[in-house]
Amino acid sequence: MSENQKKVVLAYSGGLDTTCILFWLKEQGYQVICYTADVGQEEDLDQVRQQALKLGAIKAIVDNRIEEFVTEFVYPSLAYGGIYQGRYLLGTSLCRPCISKGITRVANEEKAEFIAHGATGKGNDQIRFELSCISLDSNIKCITPWRMESFYNRFEGRLDLIEYAKSNGFKVTATPDKPYSTDANIMHISFESGVLEDPLHPPIDDMYLMTANPSQWPNEAEEIKITFSEGIPRLVENLNTKEKIDKPIDILKYLNKLGGKHGIGRIDIVEDRYIGMKSRGVYETPGGTIIWNAVRDLELLCLDREVNQIRTQLAEKFAEKVYYGLWYSPECHYIRACLKLSQKLVNGYVILQLFKGNAYIRGRKAIKSLYDQQLVSMDVQGQFTPNNADGFIKTSAIRLTAFNNVYKQSPYSS
């Protein structure tokens, strides 16, 4: 092996794109170190590592990042209200900065000048990987095959890669019959590409991996209790089976299992990519969806109205920054610090019923609740004098009266 060959650390999943890219980088004369992050994708990662070595990588590293991913990315995002365009809980978006942290560390340890990834030139992941890595180490250079003419002129798409793999004698899991792309971690799995690029084409029933199809949903509901501390789930109790789960990874795994059984957390959406085009994605996020529903409900007992409104506004900006690959940016650090502070008072538990694709809220209790049952009751006066509302309404109506005196009919009416 030549001493002057340049080293590149490849973010390697063992899937079609990165397997072909590994082989292609070798053809270009690079020494390739394959980096695979274990983020709970439930694959045989030792087999992925062995495959990388068999295909000519000089080193193949499997890095267990599950606990860090869950505790530093997934749970904070769910607590802070991270949801993109009102539906997507950011499973892939959150994973990229976690992986980038690992690949940047390995590149420094191995004295590699380059990193590489298999993200498409039309997608979000190229931005997420590169902006994250640059934020962590501005000296890192990135090789981006799907943006290089010599690569994309040779491989127009996934079918060309499948043929390339076949002609070079190595196996990949993708086939011409199922050419859609998947990305999995402990929080979710995503599906895109292939037949899914037609927004009218329904998802394939046997495609789903984390959630049961409607015909398989149980006819019996299940009730659980989730206890939160500062917006983070600390304990899950199954009120039917009396099981108790209290470790961070185990909580998410358990809620994935229960939510998956009841078909919770499956969405099919068209979203706006950062790069400017719309794309169609299908996602399964069972445990994350249950936690999301529960913590949003508990917040309403714990947070002042104005604080919660500001938290909601900041959460929208936070989700946008994460989706755009800016987890490590100055503004995202600042927003996260504000959102973390908002969760300081979110302590208590929520009871949910899991049934037929939904996580229904059945009850909630906060350690310190702003809900005053006597004050709000329709049966007792409490500390509120009803005629006080008269002045409140008159004061609120001042601006409406002024407008009506000038414009008898609204100038904004169509």
The 10s digit of each residue's pLDDT in 210-251 is: 999 999 999 999 999 999 999 999 999 999 999 999 999 999
pLDDT band at 1 (very low <50, low <70, confident <90, very high): very low
Query: Of the residues 179, 203, 219, which one is the last residue of a structural domain?
Result: 179
Residue 196 sits in the same domain as residue 307: yes
pLDDT of residue 194: 86
**Residues 137 and 205 occupy one common structural domain:** no
364, containing H or E segment: strand 358-366
Write 69-73 long-range contacts (CB < 8 A, 24+): 69/39, 69/40, 69/94, 69/95, 69/98, 69/185, 69/186, 69/187, 70/40, 70/186, 70/187, 70/248, 70/249, 70/252, 71/248, 72/98, 73/97, 73/98, 73/327
Q: Does residue 76 lie in a domain region?
A: yes
pLDDT of residue 174: 61
Query: Does pTM top 0.75 for this prediction?
Result: yes
Q: Is 329 designated active site?
A: no
Pairing state between β 114-116 and 278-284: unpaired
**What pLDDT score was predicted for residue 388?**
84
**For residue 196, how many C-alpha atoms fall within 13 Å in the half-sphere facing its CB?**
22
In this structure, the answer to whether residues 235 and 199 fall within a common structural domain is yes
Same domain, 296 and 312: yes
- The whole domain housing 16 covers 7-179
Among candidate residues 13, 77, 132, 181, the one labeled active-site is 181
Same domain, 172 and 205: no
Can you give the pLDDT at residue 4? 57
166, part of any domain = yes
Residue 34 domain flag: yes
The answer as to whether 1 is a domain residue is no
Let me know whether 206 and 303 are in one domain: yes
Are residue 171 and residue 261 in the same domain, yes or no?
Answer: no
Closest CA to 173 of 195, 151, 158: 158
Mean of pLDDT values over 358-378 = 93
What is the helix (H) or strand (E) element at residue 25, kind and residue range? helix 16-27
pLDDT tens sequence across 164-181: 988 888 877 666 666 577
If you average pLDDT over residues 350-377, what whole number do you get? 95
Residue 252: give its domain's CATH number.
Answer: 3.90.1260.10
pLDDT tens for 81-99 read 999 999 999 999 999 999 9
Assess whether 270 and 396 both reside in one domain: no
What pLDDT shows up at residue 181? Answer: 79
Q: Is the pLDDT of residue 55 over 90?
A: yes
**Lowest-confidence range among 138-152, 169-183, 212-226, 345-359?**
169-183
Structural tokens at position 351: 């009871």
**Average of per-residue pLDDT across 385-399:** 91
Residue 219 sits in the same domain as residue 278: yes
- The pLDDT of residue 114 is 97
Q: What's the domain count of the chain? A: 3
Residue 256, pLDDT above cutoff 80: yes
Average pLDDT, the chain: 94
- Kindly compute the dihedral angle of the four CA atoms of residues 115, 118, 122, 128, in this order, to the nearest 10 degrees: -50
Instruction: Please indicate, yes or no, whether residues 125 and 214 belong to a single structural domain of this protein.
Output: no
* Residue 413 in domain: no
The per-residue pLDDT for 176 is 61
Whether 39 is covered by a domain: the verdict is yes
Closest CA to 348 of 291, 292, 302: 302
Last residue of a domain, one of 144, 179, 214: 179
**Catalytic annotation on 410?**
no
For the question of residue 266 being annotated catalytic, the response is: no
Q: Which of 65, 93, 125, 279 is the catalytic position? A: 125
- Average of per-residue pLDDT across 370-395: 85
Same-domain pairing of 238 and 328: yes
- Is 17 an active-site residue? yes
User: What's the pLDDT at 173?
Assistant: 65
Q: Which of 106-120, 151-165, 202-216 has the lowest mean pLDDT?
A: 151-165
**13: pLDDT strictly greater than 80:** yes
- Could you tell me which residue, 67 or 413, shows the higher pLDDT? 67
Domain assignment present for 308: yes
- For residue 414, tell me if it sits in a domain: no
Of residues 382 and 208, more confidence is placed in 208
Are 114 and 142 within 8 A, CB to CB?
A: yes
- CA count, 13 A, side-chain hemisphere, 289: 28
Residue count of the chain: 414
- Between 65 and 380, residue with greater pLDDT: 65
Bridge partner list, 86: none
pLDDT at 235: 98
Q: Cα 12 to the chain's mean position, in Å?
A: 20
> Is the domain of 344 the same as that of 317?
yes
Contacts of 6 (CB under 8 A, 6+ apart): 29, 30, 31, 113, 114
162 pLDDT above the threshold of 90: no
CATH number of the domain to which 168 belongs? 3.40.50.620
